[in-house]
Amino acid sequence: MSARALSFGEIAEAYERFRPGYPEELARLVEAYAGRPVRTALEIGAGTGKATRLFAGRGIAVTATEPDAAMLAVLERTAPADVTTQQAAFEELRPVGSYGLVYAAASLHWTRPDGRWSRVAGLLEPEGVFACFGGPVGPADPAVEEAVRAARAPFLESDGVPSPDGTAPAAAMQWPGTELERSPLFHDVRQAVVERRWTASAADYLGYLSTVSAYRQLPPATRRRAFEVIERALPGTVAIAADIVVHLARRRPGTGAEPPG
């Protein structure tokens, strides 16, 4: 797991405060795709439990896995009591049984590509659902977005995470849908978008940026300077665009996938 993937624990409380949650519309989309009651789920890289609370709140028995102890501590404090937690990276999981749903909320890109899809398939019941969702968060106003980009440029070329398989941003199907379509272990691959908008104070938007891995990798003094410059580029209230790109797929029955052991 990369240093960027392990950069969140020291700011777990800020992550919980400033990162957006997930809307009910997302859960309804996943459940409608499943086409049958979803009773059990395993979450990959649960963080502080933003998505955990969404699915657990709908009566699904969620097992939330997270490698960072500080992030998991916040999750255990905020999640319903019946959520099962496990401190482990995705590659280290030793689950018992299989699940109707396996999902990753803005975390799948931190997992190792080797064996990723056979491991996911091995966690799923036949025809069980895999869901992956996330997306960039930034100013909705193009002028503000450009001002932030220009302010950031001396410190970071980009604060996003590049596509793991090199898919162009303008491509009709984005990662991981591109890989799921090529995998013999999955079928019925779909991509959807759930709109998410809100407004934040400039201070809260900077709080969000403080949880972004690209900034976490900067030396502390450089990071402080970058935030000072970005703050000067922001209006007092920032309209935020944070649409959620959702990928859905089913485990193909009869593929012989086995739970990881």
CATH of the domain at 118: 3.40.50.150
Residue 125 counted as domain residue = yes
Q: What angle do CA 122, 123, 127 make, to 5 degrees?
A: 85
What is the domain count for the chain? 1
Q: Is the peptide bond before 176 cis (omega within 30 degrees of 0)?
A: yes
The Cα–Cα gap between 91 and 13 comes to: 25
Helices 142-152, 220-233: axis angle to 10 degrees equals: 150
Give yes or no for a contact between 83 and 56, defined as CB atoms under 8 angstroms apart: yes
Helices 220-233, 202-209: axis angle to 10 degrees equals: 150
Residue 232 counted as domain residue = no
Tell me, what's the pLDDT at 254? 81
Task: Enumerate residue ranges in the chain where pLDDT < 50.
Answer: 1-5, 259-261
Q: Please give the residue range of the domain that contains residue 130.
A: 9-137+161-197+241-251
Residue 27 counted as domain residue = yes
Give yes or no for a contact between 40 and 99, defined as CB atoms under 8 angstroms apart: yes
Please provide the average confidence, as pLDDT, over all residues in the chain: 94
pTM above 0.75, yes or no: yes
The two three-digit tokens of residue 162, written as one number = 């590049």
Tell me, what's the pLDDT at 94? 75
How distant is the alpha carbon of residue 226 from its chain centre? 25
The Cα–Cα gap between 214 and 217 comes to: 5
Tell me, what's the pLDDT at 95? 64
39-70 per-position pLDDT tens digit? 999 999 999 999 999 999 999 999 999 999 99
The Cα–Cα gap between 184 and 118 comes to: 10
Residue 94 counted as domain residue = yes
Residue 121 counted as domain residue = yes
